[in-house]
Amino acid sequence: MVYLPMSYLYGKRFVGPISAITLSLRKELYSEPYHKVNWNLARNQCAKGYNGSQLWDAAFAVQAILATNLKDEYGSMLKKANDFVKISQVTEDSSSNPSSWYRHISKGGWNFSTLDQGWPVTDSTAEGFKAALLLSQMPPDIVGEAMAAEKLYDTVNLTLSLQVLNPAETFGDIIIDYS
């Protein structure tokens, strides 16, 4: 419902009239004259929302290897994965007062890719948590030291705090069926 109007306009290749406001915006937003922009060259040169899927991939790799009972054959990989999962966890909130920056707490979460990405999400947090728990059940001589219990508690705290967050509220009453 939210995406439908934009996809319709894009599909119809809608082009609005060129007005004084349009010309002013083009002048303000583009570093070179709009008519000189090489759009084929400019494609995919926008800011990226994330820098890969490293944590996501590592968490599923750990789960797959442990499910196959090949832990002895892949012990060195599991040790590296354990280290990566531990260093990828967000260990502090983005600020001392996240709500003043319109941010939620992030301590205890995992990002989709790496710690540098900075936005832990529930899916990645769940998979990172699951990988950390599975690895903690392995012998330390194979995978190294388990993640500290306090860091796992941080994950539980973050997950429980997200229970009351409803991102659909952004869309107000548009998702309600009134029929």
DSSP at 94: S
* CA–CA gap between residue 144 and residue 150 (Å, rounded): 17
* CA–CA gap between residue 161 and residue 149 (Å, rounded): 18
Give catalytic status of residue 123 as yes or no: yes
* CA–CA gap between residue 109 and residue 44 (Å, rounded): 29
Angle between helices 122-136 and 75-88 (to 10 degrees): 130
> What torsion, rounded to 10 degrees, do the Cα atoms 117, 120, 123, 128 define?
80
Out of 57, 72, 83, 123, the active site residue is 123
| Cβ neighbours of 11 (radius 10 Å) | 8
Residues tagged active-site:
123
